Structure 1
Amino acid sequence: MTKDQLYNELNYVNHSREKRLHYANLVIANPQLVKPLLEILFEVDDKISCRAAWVFEFMCGEKLEAIIPHLNLFTENIAKVHLDPAVRPVAKVCEYLIKDYYSKHDNKIKSALTEQHKEKIVEACFDWMINDEKIAPKAYSMNSLYLLGNEYDWIHPELAMILERDFQMQSSGFKARARHILKKIKPKN
């Protein structure tokens, strides 16, 4: 399947779990499609990029290791994503990566994710925290930044400051997640 064929196929992707999973499995079965999928995802002003993001998130949820050869492409471009329906899945993939990286279990992400990859994820997560994003990308970012803050001592104070500053203006979902993260951070400060 060519990139153009994949692009056309993405027209059939919708919000249903069934469709997203079908196309995620198609990409998993054909690893050569990961790069074109990411290229479409990073055509950030095209509405189809959101559909690519949905498929990419499901692919990573099923087989995260499939991203490894493409970590540079992914982390170099995540900050460009700006359409709401694409930001959420990209933030979720960042959370998948960070959770696996700090997992107690051995996995391939631990050796593949570099300092530069983590720096790009930190930048993107802080951007999602301070920009006018919906709750989901902020929630995924909070989790990722909390875990990263266990390694990088400057992250927790910055994260706590943002959470406390934005607390009153945000939704109940944000407040619940922020309270949870702040409880974990505060004993350390």
Structure 2
Amino acid sequence: MTKTELYQSLNYVDATREKRTQMASLILDNPDLIHPLLEIVFEEKDPISNRASWVLEYTLKKKLHYIYPHLDFLTSNMSDVRLDSSVRPLAKICEFLAKAYFSKTKNEAQKALREKHLEAIAAACFDWLIGDYKVAAKAYSMTSLLLLGRKFDWIHPELKMVLEQNYAEGSAAYKARARMILAKIK
């Protein structure tokens, strides 16, 4: 399948779990489509980019290792994404990566993710946490940053400060996640 055919297929993806899962199955069966899918994800001005983000999240939820050869491309472009419906799945992917990296069980993520990737994830997560995004992206970012704070000393004090500053204006869901994260930092 070419990038053009992949793009056309994404036109039929909607917010339903069924459509996302169908398209993710196609990618799971054809891992060579990960890079073209990523290229579409990062075509920020294109409305199809958010659908590509949804499919990427569903794909990586099943087979996270499919992203490892593309970590440089992913991490160097993700902080440019501003579309809320694309940010949420990217923040979730960052959470997948952080959880895998900091897992007590040895795994491929611990070899694949380099310091520059982790730093890029931290930067993007702080941008999403501070920016005007929905609570889901912020919640995933909080979890990623909590984990990344195990590696980078500066993260926990910054995260604590951001959460405390934004707590009063946060939604109930934001406050609940912030309380949980703050308790774990202390």
> Which TM-score tier does this pair reach, normalised by the shorter chain?
over 0.9
**AA in 2 matched with 1:78:** M
Residues of 2 paired with 1:62 and 1:9: CA distance?
A: 20
Runs of 4+ in 1 over 2 A off after TM superposition: none
Residues of 2 paired with 1:98 and 1:25: CA distance?
A: 24
Please state how far the C-alpha of 1:32 moved relative to its aligned partner: 1.0
Alignment of 1:30-179 (within 5 A): 30-179=30-179
**AA in 1 matched with 2:55:** V
**AA in 1 matched with 2:19:** K
Say how many residue pairs are matched.
186
Residues of 1 paired with 2:27 and 2:13: CA distance?
A: 13
**AA in 2 matched with 1:42:** F
Q: Which residue of 1 aligns with 2:29?
A: 29
CA deviation profile, 1:73-103 (whole Å, cap 9, x unmatched): 1001001111111000000000000000001
Residues of 2 paired with 1:133 and 1:19: CA distance?
A: 25
Gaps of 5+ in 2: none
TM-score, normalised relative to structure 1:
0.97
Secondary structure of the corresponding residue to residue 6 of structure 1: helix
Residues of 1 paired with 2:151 and 2:84: CA distance?
A: 29
Please state how far the C-alpha of 1:31 moved relative to its aligned partner: 1.1
**AA in 2 matched with 1:6:** L
Residues of 2 paired with 1:84 and 1:142: CA distance?
A: 16
Q: Which residue of 2 aligns with 1:17?
A: 17
Please state how far the C-alpha of 1:57 moved relative to its aligned partner: 0.3
Secondary structure of the corresponding residue to residue 56 of structure 1: helix
Residues of 1 paired with 2:75 and 2:152: CA distance?
A: 18
Please state how far the C-alpha of 1:25 moved relative to its aligned partner: 1.3
Secondary structure of the corresponding residue to residue 123 of structure 1: helix
CA deviation profile, 1:116-175 (whole Å, cap 9, x unmatched): 100100100010111111101100000000001012111100000000000000100000
**AA in 1 matched with 2:95:** E
Q: CA RMSD in A?
A: 0.6
